[in-house]
Amino acid sequence: MALNKEMSAAQAVAQLRDGMTIGIGGWGPRRKPMALVREILRSPLKDLTVVSYGGPDVGMLCAAGKVKRLVYAFVTMDAIPLEPWFRKARESAAIEVMELDEGMFEWGLRAAGMRMSFLPTRCGLATDVLARNPSLKTIQSPYADGEVYVAMPALKLDAALLHVNQADRLGNTLIRGADTFFDHLYARAAEACYVSAETVSERFELDAETAKQNPFERYLVKGVVHAPLGAHPTYLGPDYGWDMDHLKRYNASATEEGGWEKYVAEFVTPGESEYLAKIGGTERAAKLKQPVF
């Protein structure tokens, strides 16, 4: 039994294949596994189906032409509501889409984690979510009520990418932020889950209160990647806030000529240690303000 699951981001991404369905944890500009996303940007991977409560993770993968199909309920950076590269991809019809209600999305992940083919829900009925996704079917209750529901199909993932505050080499994780979002469901829905973490220890030795911050079992985790500031420029409560200057710089790349190529040359190609230096390292990260909603 491999009790040391630690690997580099490159080793984790090397296990992904063209055409895979990849789930990305977090929510909008919050606790996104951006170090792993940047590693995908550096790789030759292509034709991905990306499943995400989307933020700049989705935008960057669209900008780089990695996305064949997007499964989403929204793509936003909150303080910058409209994600520029997602918009470009949508408005140029460069990507196929499966646009879902946020709750249907959750239900799809849950169904996959429970090894069900679908779960019933009212969400999506009488909207264009059904009209635009002819693959979605309805089902009638077999009981006396006879109600008709959407049969939300399982969103099975080939891989899930998550970022957490702490992990150990066995694959135990802690999410210390106020909200764990739906990361546990991505982990359960995936064939293989790769977790990046701010710190990686040999083995956790936790008190009971801290152990409650463990969102899912280590048997779900295939790889652990040490990635300090690995959610940057998104926000990782309580360790660091979002980097609005960086998000604005990224946002501006969509309106400059060759903007994306410049962004990649400056922040992606040189590698993660250069990235950390360019964004001002841990010193500046410590000063990034936690967002106030």
Partner 1 sequence: MTQMTENEVVSLAELMIVAASEAWRDNGELLASGIGVIPRIGASLAKLTHSPELLMTDSEAFLVSEPVPLGARGDYQPKYEGYMSFERVFECVWGGKRHAMIGPTQIDRWGQTNLSSVGPYEKPKSAILGVRGLPGNSINHINSMIVPNHGPRVFVAGEVDMVSGVGYKPERWAPGMKQDFVDIRLVVTDLCVLDFGGPDHAVRVKSLHPGVTFEQVQAATGFPLLQAPGMGETPLPTAEQLAVIRRMDPHNLRSQQLKGNPPAVRTAAAA
- Contact pick of 44, 115, 128, 135 for partner 1 (by CB under 8 A): 128
Q: Which stretch binds partner 1 (CB under 8 A): 128-136, 154-162, 168-176, 197-205?
A: 128-136
Residue 114 within binding range of partner 1, rule CB under 8 A: no
Residue placing its CB nearer to partner 1 in the complex, 123 or 151: 123
CA distances to 3, 65, 149 from 20, rounded to whole Å, are 26, 14, 29
Residues 132-161 binding partner 1 (CB under 8 A) are 132, 138, 140, 146-148
Q: How far is the CB of 205 from partner 1 (least distance, A)?
A: 27
Burial call 100-114: b when 16+ CB within 10 Å, e when fewer: bbeebbbbbbbbbbe
Residues 198-257 binding partner 1 (CB under 8 A) are none
Residue 196 within binding range of partner 1, rule CB under 8 A: no
- Calpha distance 30→77 (Å, rounded): 9
Residue 180 within binding range of partner 1, rule CB under 8 A: yes
Residue placing its CB nearer to partner 1 in the complex, 33 or 228: 33
CB 195 within 8 A of CB 163: yes
CA distances to 136, 154, 248 from 127, rounded to whole Å, are 12, 20, 34
Q: Which stretch binds partner 1 (CB under 8 A): 13-21, 103-111, 194-202, 275-283?
A: 103-111
Residue placing its CB nearer to partner 1 in the complex, 83 or 158: 83
- Calpha distance 238→188 (Å, rounded): 25
Which residues lie closer than 8 Å to 293 by C-beta, 6 or more apart? none
CB 119 within 8 A of CB 107: yes
CB 267 within 8 A of CB 273: no
- Contact pick of 42, 103, 151, 282 for partner 1 (by CB under 8 A): 103
Residue 263 within binding range of partner 1, rule CB under 8 A: no
Strands 118-121 and 96-99, by their bridges, are unpaired
- Give contact residues for partner 1 (rule: CB under 8 A): 27, 54, 72-76, 81-82, 86-87, 90-93, 99-104, 106, 121-129, 131-132, 138, 140, 146-148, 178-182, 292-293
